[in-house]
Structure 1
Amino acid sequence: MRLLITRPQPERVVAQAQEHFDVTLRQSTQPLSDAELVQSLAEFDLIMPTLGDRFSAAVFAQVPEPRARLLANFGVGYNHIDVAAARAAGIPVTNTPGAVTDATADIAMTLILMTCRRAGEGERMLRRGAWAGWHPTQMLGRHVTGRKVGIIGMGRIGQAIGRRCHFGFGMAVIFHNRSVIDPGFPAQQVPMAEALAADIVVIAVPGGASTHHLIDARALSQMRPDGFLVNISRGDVIDEAALIAHLQAGGIAGAGLDVYEHEPHVPEALRAMENVTLLPHLGTAALEVREAMGLMALDNLLAFAEGRPLPNQVN
């Protein structure tokens, strides 16, 4: 079966794919163009897409009888794929849950610490030669240990963040989630407005139409003026323009972002703010994690090829 892997992958993933499939490995690190999206559906049996490969309803409409039989997404988030349109075309979609959980939770903690303790600002000061030496009131940030964290979205990643906050930093954990859950450690489920009023708010919801601009101007207004916002979910969960306006007005103390509404574009207004930590979508950027993601995507591909149930079907 012909398999298209849309981006460069770790060598271990590519080698295993080549043992089972006729692999075309695309060398560009950029998302598929509209023409490439259409071509992939028409010419390949299987596709391993990833973030930015926008398989929209319009793309599916251009290929009424696709050759493609499976989209095995590399990544847990799949809001770049119109799953309803894929279903209508007879193409199942899978993802890679679990493989990304701990790495993404670690990046959330990185952003919490960097933003609250002004680590990025301090490093920039040192690199430009502006550090004049230690003194008692230099760069006073926010103590993280013992604070209250509000987690929006208590799935696998939200729970992993909560465990790190509770057990590692003695933080009081409150959370908002669509369904009632017991995360298995001391944490209180609360309405969204209450979670937003915590000292530190972490966004960990899935991407997609239901969460687009979930954190808008109204939600931001429910945060504390001395609160911090961290986003490791999807960029368009936050209304970026509203966030910029809120930060400029002093509505919150700072933000830590690993994802952006129009990646890879990051507004100059955000880049200019010293109280904002900006990471280039590093959530899963560790070799063993990316290997695990690729191998999980391959598990789905092999299950399809062998006629077995798909382990991680989302549609």
Structure 2
Amino acid sequence: MSKPRILQIGSLSGSPVANAAVEERYDVLALWKSPDQAAFLREQAQDIEIAVTSAVTGISAEIINALPNLKAICSWGVGYDTLDIAAAHARNIQVSNTPEVLDDCVADIAWGLLLACPRQIALGDRFVRANHWENKTASLPLGMRVSGKKLGIVGLGNIGLAIAKRGLGFDMQVAYHNRRKRDDVTYDYFDSLIELAKWSDFLMIATVGGASTRHLINEEVMRALGPQSVLVNIARGSVIDEQALVKVLAEGALGGAALDVFDKEPKVPDALKTMDNVVLLPHIASATVETRKAMLDLMLENIDAFLKTGQVVTPV
């Protein structure tokens, strides 16, 4: 019995397990392996009804429009700012992602970053490895307390809620800024992002990416946070104006930053790499064995559901 044919746009975030699982289950046309992708699409276009991609790789309108029989796009990841949703929906192409299954792991890494920066965990690690502690060749400055402080969250979706819940465990006051106030939570709501920044000791970015939030966290917001506060981003790198971030950190106008995402990944501004009050991670918020398996299972469920019923399970 022949396997269903699908087009895979790119490697699933470099996961051999995920890539192998897809190849075992389906007849995979691997676009990213083709030296001439345009020619590849022209040759295979008529046979493709399902495309698989990831939140990192995405899918462009150009690729969508090159596939006249495309009916479904199944993405591995929760973010969809790299997918041209408008182009897909204009042709009634279904799009799915993998929501909810990665909320806890992303919230965990958000809290790891929130602790690592003000409590100088990464700096302390480098301090010990350089033998400064053992040889008494330098001193480690005091850090900043986290528990009992004010946590502001930009974007109170599923991940934002998981972050907020953890904040309560640290006896923190929690407030948020959204496009609109939620009626199902008791956290304080700020309709002004600037006012939330002024209020916060820690500002956590958990909003969606894309054009609507590009550089939402600009120089004015960062200056409103101030020199005793820390900015944490586990959303999308595009949400922060990185040039402005470098500027305010260099001036001492912002207390610190902890980042898992960057505007032009994997490129990270060199200036950030030199700052002791900055913690940097290579976009690993969902990178656990358990979560990546759950993401894979849900993506496969979406593909199989479409093949059987013509409907994906978790549509965007």
State if a TM-score over 0.5 links the two structures.
Answer: yes
Q: Give the structure 2 partner of residue 119 of structure 1.
A: 121
Partner residue in 2 for 1:256: 258
- How far off its partner does 1:23 sit? 3.3
1:23 aligned to 20, 24, 28, which one? 28
The amino acid of 1:97's aligned partner reads P
Give the paired residue count.
305
TM-score normalised by length of structure 1: 0.88
Question: CA deviation digits over 1:248-293, x for unaligned, max 9?
Answer: 1111110000000000000101111111000010110001100100
Structure 2 match to 1:52: 56
AA in 2 matched with 1:189? Y
**Do 2:22 and 2:28's aligned partners in 1 also have CA atoms closer than 8 Å?**
no
Runs of 4+ displaced beyond 3 Å? 8-19, 23-28, 58-61
User: Which stretch has the larger CA shift, 200-209 or 1-10?
Assistant: 1-10
> For 2:232, what is the secondary structure of its paired residue?
strand
Partner of 1:173: 174
Which residue of structure 2 aligns with residue 70 of structure 1? 72
Structure 1 unmatched runs, 5+:
none
Cα deviation, residue 26, structure 1? 7.5
User: In the TM superposition, what is the alpha-carbon distance from 1:213 to its structure 2 partner?
Assistant: 0.9
Cα 1:289–1:194 shift into 2, 3 Å: same
Residue correspondence of structure 1 range 231-250 to structure 2 within 5 A: 231-250=233-252
Matches within 5 A, 1:218-237: 218-237=220-239
When normalised by structure 2's length, the TM-score is 0.87
Q: How far apart are 1:68 and its partner, in Å?
A: 2.8
- 8 Å CA contact retained: 1:37, 1:59: no
Q: What amino acid is aligned across from residue 59 of structure 2 in structure 1?
A: F
Mapped contact 1:122–1:139 kept (Cα < 8 A): no
1:307/1:275 CA distance change after superposition, 3 Å: same
Conserved? CA contact 1:217–1:243, under 8 Å:
yes
Structure 1 residues 39-88: Cα deviation after superposition (integer angstroms, max 9, x where no partner): 39825332221133242234444x1x534321101000011111101222
The whole-number CA distance in structure 2 between the counterparts of 1:226 and 1:240 is: 19
2:6 corresponds to which of 3, 8, 20: 3
Q: 1:219 to 1:304 in 2, by over 3 A?
A: same
Matched, 1:39 2:45: no
Separation in 2 of the partners of 1:219 and 1:66? 45
Partner of residue 195, structure 1: 196
Task: Note the C-alpha offset of 1:312.
Answer: 1.3
Which has the higher relative contact order, 1 or 2, with Cα contacts under 8 A spaced 6 or more apart? 1
Moved more, 170-179 or 153-162: 170-179
Shift in CA distance, 95/215, structure 1 to aligned 2, threshold 3 Å: same
Q: How is 1:70-219 mapped onto 2 (pairs within 5 angstroms)?
A: 70-132=72-134, 138-167=140-169, 169-182=170-183, 184=185, 186-191=186-191, 192-197=193-198, 198-219=200-221
Identical columns (%):
37
